[in-house]
Amino acid sequence: MKKTREPLIHITKRGELRWYQAWAIRGGAILLALLFAGLITTLLTGENPIQVYAAIWKGSFGSARKMWVLGQNVAILLCVALAVTPAFRMRCWNLGGDGQMLAGGLATAACMILLGGKLPNAALICLMLVTSILAGAIWALIPAFFKARFNTNETLFTLMMNYIAIQLVAYFIIVWEVPKGAGQIGIINQSTNAGWLPQVGSSKYLLNIIVVAILTVVMYLYLNYSKHGYELAVVGESERTARYVGIKVDRVIIRTMLLSGAICGLAGMLLVGGTDHTLTTTITANRGFTAVMVSWLGKFNPVWMIFTSFLLVFLGKGGSEIATNFGLSSSFGDILTGIILFFIIGSEFFISYRINFRKAAEKEG
Amino acid sequence: MDNKTPAVKMRNITKTFGPVVANDKVWLDIYRGEILALLGENGSGKTTLMNMLSGIYFPDEGTISIDGKDVVIRSPKDAFSLGIGMIHQHFKLVDVLTAAENIVLGLEGKLDLKAAAEKIRAICDAYGFEVDPDQKIYDMSVSQKQTVEIVKVLYRGADILILDEPTAVLTPQETDKLFAVLRNMRDDGKAIVIITHKMHEVEALSDRVAILRHGQFIGDMPTKRTNAQEMTNMMVGHAVTLNIERPVPVDPKPRIEVKGLTVRNIEGVVKLDSVSFTANSGEILGIAGISGSGQKELLEAIAGLQPVEAGSIEYIEDDGSREELIGKDPLSIAEMGVTLSFVPEDRLGMGLVGNMDLSDNMMLRSFRKGRSLFTDRRSPKTLAETVVRELEVSTPSVSTPVRRLSGGNVQKVLVGREIAAAPKVLLTAYAVRGLDINSSYTIYDLINRQKAEGVAVIYVGEDLDVLLELADRILVLCGGKVSGIVPGRGAKKRDVGMMMTKLGGNG
């Protein structure tokens, strides 16, 4: 009789893991990723992987200035991620973070250029705050309205709104260019500093970091404990259930997208008014999209998102550091980031499932 | 039938899902020329066991042998090549294709629909099916779709057939037809396993019963040598009473009056056509009808979830004052002070949020209470704990997502929440669908208690035997029209069945 064979591997679902078991798997994945990335580095470039890792570390923590820049970048990225997260929890894929930030940045720049020196600085900053939040909110309201009313696809709609924002910014850059024909605005109000956000403490980056830290706490409470947060979670899980209990689905969609856009607008103001003091079409550095990854990796939880935005910024900085230090292409940093993300995302599979191998020593019954 | 070798021998089958042991060293023999009824409560592991036989799951331990030969079933394809076919509760058919196209879908070799149609007709003639190979699936009734599923399995040469709750969606007449076909197949020497919760079907159809409880094999015996009471006791593990109480309504007064209600769905098809009736307090009004006859639209219209074309739905207060419910959404109905509870058909898609835990689901109805921006988390948690305790919901904790619970427990959570609102009107749609005997009786009990407290209960059911035992009056829907309203006491199953298929029911 032919001996029958069990399949070599079969996959079964795990029960709930304890939190530390899940984190042990994630930690293991990062370690494996580092080993694998080291191996790839040595094979492809011949560099000593330890030195490469040291360079990655130095990219973020090499000097006080680098640490402040790291903090600022984490803060702005986290801010955009916090903005898109309420929409994501509602299963509404707001990919328009970039456009909404640009709208906010444009409003800020307009206030600074047109009203700088004509208003007291405090009033100007208040106006910048209000207009940037409004501009971001409007940029999100348009797709939200069409989604709520006609069930249009918010993913495509918000994406297209990004391009409109970019073109709009490009247009105003020409309007406001300094000097004429330069094709760029340059530093706004360099001499008067009108509309520049005040510096708190020793670094111009500290204010942004504080604002985003407060925002993180508020967003955490909003999503997990407020009635609004509960409503948008129900809408995200099932619109039918939401209607069944009398939640006005259209209103929740519009309200949540407004919030999403408003915070993106705020992020735009923090960039333009707080640190960069200029406006370019690339000022967002694709953070609207990176934020999607931050939010997903952090499982839409504002506290975990602190770590995921840190991780992404840290890897990015490390990538450019090794590119300059070892004369490698800057894409090499992206390769390493890709490897590490692959391992982290892949580890989620092993948290949900167990892989069973055929028992080698099993005897025939 | 005796001393034959079994067609299927399952030995020591164990299957776990995480910490849950779905099957624990189960033994099962399936013989040719026999209809085996596989019995057990929800979560007792019947479907899991059959899924292992049909290649959907792979057992952690144990052996399966077919006709005395050990086999390994790694995929549904393996199962098919061994002649095992399963008809699932939820049909797996492509709507826009014809019966014949669905039946040959996925088969290897040259596509010859003509030859396939021939073969399908031959199968139909042999067993008494009625299938038109060229009919599109979307034109078919539920029972026709099921027939296509069975023919599909036979077409692939299956001679061991597994049917998972096949009668849940059928009318009594369709059930009779199905049973006749199954008997023909048995007489042709096929092995048939049927999973069902309905005792009278087990007694009417099966030759042998096998019983599972909590994933363990309890025993098997010829159907003739047992009875509904004994089988139920074995399933549940202790003696239970099988009578549904029907106390006489105390002081019934009109509570909901529906007049000339007409509803069209989004495609413009009339789903309800001038429906009129009155639901009284302290009374259970049963709604019978083939599925899709307008039951869903009727309940949703009353609950404020369904746009209405014409007619009126009036809520009548104790003092006789009337309020129109049409044109109001669930929130404004609640704000009017009408406490209307609704247990919808789609439990996880409408009544509950599957990914949220028990406490958060309790909150669905009450989260708006109070002025605070924040939700009150304590009272829903207390309510969840009360429901778990009083309705004996089996769950690891109140912070378990409800989708992890078994069907019966999900329903207890939903009914528990809806009843906790102390309603004046209780709407229930297929309240016991897919529930085992024990859970079903818990639900009947809860509904009867509501009735005793003066609630007007509207109970949409599919099991006529239950409707005839539980309801004070039965409204029969046929194609969106009221086919008749009969008193529950003394109504004949045959008559109600006729009214379901034909207006007025004279056949």
Q: What is the pLDDT of residue A183?
A: 83
Which residue does chain B place closest to A223, by CA atoms? B374
Task: Give the tens place of pLDDT for each residue, B189-201.
Answer: 999 999 987 888 8
CA angle A132, A133, A137 (to 5 degrees): 115
Task: Give the tens place of pLDDT for each residue, A131-154.
Answer: 999 999 999 999 999 999 999 999
Q: Say whether both B374 and B455 belong to one domain.
A: yes
Report the phi/psi class of residue B19: left, alpha or beta, with left for phi > 0 and alpha for psi in -120 to 50. alpha
Q: Tell me if B488 is assigned to some domain.
A: yes
Contact A361, A10 (CB under 8 A): no
What's the rounded Cα separation, in Å, for the pair B42 and B121?
Answer: 37
Q: Say whether both B417 and B483 belong to one domain.
A: yes
**Looking at beta carbons, which residues of chain A come within 8 Å of B372?**
227
Q: Say whether both B221 and B338 belong to one domain.
A: no
Taking one residue from A and the other from B, the number of pairs with CB-CB distance under 8 angstroms is 87
Mark yes or no for CB contact B374/A365 under 8 Å.
no
pLDDT-based confidence at residue B9 (cuts at 50, 70, 90): very high
Mark yes or no for CB contact A237/B71 under 8 Å.
no
- Specify the CATH number for the domain of residue B408: 3.40.50.300
* Helices marked H in B25-171: 46-53, 76-81, 99-104, 113-127, 142-155
**Looking at beta carbons, which residues of chain A come within 8 Å of B63?**
365
Q: How many domains does chain B have?
A: 2
Please state the pTM of the whole predicted model. Answer: 0.81
The chain-wide mean pLDDT, for chain B, equals 89
Mean pLDDT of A262-289: 95
Long-range contact set of residues A295-299: C-beta below 8 Å, sequence gap at least 24 = A295/A81, A295/A84, A295/A85, A295/A88, A296/A88, A297/A341, A297/A344, A297/A345, A298/A81
Q: Say whether both B69 and B208 belong to one domain.
A: yes
pLDDT top residue among A34 and A97 = A97
**Looking at beta carbons, which residues of chain B come within 8 Å of A233?**
353, 356
pLDDT top residue among B139 and B29 = B29
Q: Say whether both B232 and B301 belong to one domain.
A: no
**Looking at beta carbons, which residues of chain B come within 8 Å of A7?**
58, 72, 74
Q: Give the largest Cα separation in chain A, rounded.
A: 96
**Looking at beta carbons, which residues of chain B come within 8 Å of A10?**
58
Q: Tell me if B51 is assigned to some domain.
A: yes
By Cβ distance, the residue of A6, A238, A246 closest to B353 is: A238
By Cβ distance, the residue of B16, B365, B373 closest to A245 is: B365
What's the rounded Cα separation, in Å, for the pair B285 and B484?
Answer: 13
By Cβ distance, the residue of A1, A234, A246 closest to B329 is: A246
How long is chain B?
507
Q: Tell me if B79 is assigned to some domain.
A: yes
**Looking at beta carbons, which residues of chain B come within 8 Å of A1?**
69-70
Residue among A227, A240, A350, A355 with most chain B CBs within 10 A, to mutate: A227
By Cβ distance, the residue of A15, A243, A247 closest to B19 is: A15
Mark yes or no for CB contact A244/B17 under 8 Å.
no
**Looking at beta carbons, which residues of chain B come within 8 Å of A5?**
72
Kindly list the residues of chain A whose beta carbon comes within 8 Å of any beta carbon in chain B: 1, 4-7, 10, 12-16, 221, 225-228, 230-231, 233-234, 237-238, 240-241, 243-248, 356, 365
Mean pLDDT of B260-265: 93
Which range marks the domain in which residue B300 is found? 282-306+328-505
What's the rounded Cα separation, in Å, for the pair B122 and A158?
Answer: 56
Give every strand in the sheet of B34-39, ordered side by side: B84-87, B160-164, B191-195, B34-39, B208-213, B216-222
Of the three residues B236, B259, B292, the one that is the final residue of a domain is B236
Reference B206, options B221, B218, B217; nearest CA is: B221
B163 Cα to chain A: minimum distance (Å): 25
Mark yes or no for CB contact A7/B74 under 8 Å.
yes
Q: Say whether both B167 and B93 belong to one domain.
A: yes
Q: Tell me if B272 is assigned to some domain.
A: no
Contact A348, A299 (CB under 8 A): no
Q: Say whether both B230 and B302 belong to one domain.
A: no
Which residue does chain B place closest to A362, by CA atoms? B61
Mark yes or no for CB contact B375/A226 under 8 Å.
yes
ipTM of the complex: 0.84
Q: Which of A278-292, A311-325, B376-390 has the lowest mean pLDDT?
A: A311-325
**Looking at beta carbons, which residues of chain B come within 8 Å of A238?**
349-350, 353-354
B207 Cα to chain A: minimum distance (Å): 32
**Beta-carbon contacts of residue A19 (< 8 Å; ≥ 6 apart):** none
Q: What is the pLDDT of residue A3?
A: 43
Q: Tell me if B448 is assigned to some domain.
A: yes
Q: Residue B349: is its pLDDT beyond 60? A: yes
A12 Cα to chain B: minimum distance (Å): 7
Mean pLDDT of A117-136: 95
Reference B41, options B225, B257, B238, B197; nearest CA is: B197
Q: What is the pLDDT of residue A364?
A: 39
Which residue does chain A place closest to B64, by CA atoms? A4
Q: Say whether both B30 and B117 belong to one domain.
A: yes
Residue among B70, B325, B343, B428 with most chain A CBs within 10 A, to mutate: B70
Q: Tell me if B312 is assigned to some domain.
A: no
H-run or E-run covering A213: helix A206-225
pLDDT more than 70, % of chain A: 95
Mark yes or no for CB contact A246/B354 under 8 Å.
no
pLDDT more than 90, % of chain A: 64
Q: Which of A78-87, A174-183, B355-364 has the lowest mean pLDDT?
A: A174-183
Mean pLDDT of B282-311: 92
Of the three residues B236, B260, B294, the one that is the final residue of a domain is B236
Q: Residue B358: is its pLDDT beyond 80? A: yes
Mark yes or no for CB contact A241/B364 under 8 Å.
yes
**Beta-carbon contacts of residue B344 (< 8 Å; ≥ 6 apart):** A244, B299, B300, B350, B351, B429
3-state SS record for A235-301: HHHCHHHHHHCCCCHHHHHHHHHHHHHHHHHHHHHHHHHHHHCCCCCCCCCCHHHHHHHHHHHCCCC
Mean pLDDT of A220-241: 95
Q: What is the pLDDT of residue A361?
A: 42
Q: Say whether both B134 and B199 belong to one domain.
A: yes
Q: Tell me if B456 is assigned to some domain.
A: yes
Q: What is the pLDDT of residue A9?
A: 74
Of the three residues B180, B201, B236, the one that is the final residue of a domain is B236
Amino acid identity at B354? G
Q: Say whether both B293 and B227 belong to one domain.
A: no
A7 Cα to chain B: minimum distance (Å): 7
Task: Give the tens place of pLDDT for each residue, B204-258.
Answer: 999 999 999 888 999 999 999 998 888 888 888 887 777 888 999 989 999 999 9
Q: Say whether both B205 and B295 belong to one domain.
A: no
By Cβ distance, the residue of A12, A14, A225 closest to B374 is: A225
Kindly list the residues of chain B whose beta carbon comes within 8 Å of any beta carbon in chain A: 16-20, 58, 60, 63, 69-72, 74, 303, 305, 329-332, 334, 342, 344, 346, 349-356, 360, 363-365, 367-368, 372-375, 377
Mean pLDDT of B108-132: 87
**Looking at beta carbons, which residues of chain B come within 8 Å of A236?**
none
Mark yes or no for CB contact B360/A1 under 8 Å.
no
Q: What is the pLDDT of residue A365?
A: 34
pLDDT-based confidence at residue A359 (cuts at 50, 70, 90): low
Q: What is the pLDDT of residue A358?
A: 67
Q: Say whether both B209 and B293 belong to one domain.
A: no
Q: Tell me if B256 is assigned to some domain.
A: no
Residue among A245, A249, A353, A355 with most chain B CBs within 10 A, to mutate: A245
What's the rounded Cα separation, in Å, for the pair B99 and B97?
Answer: 7
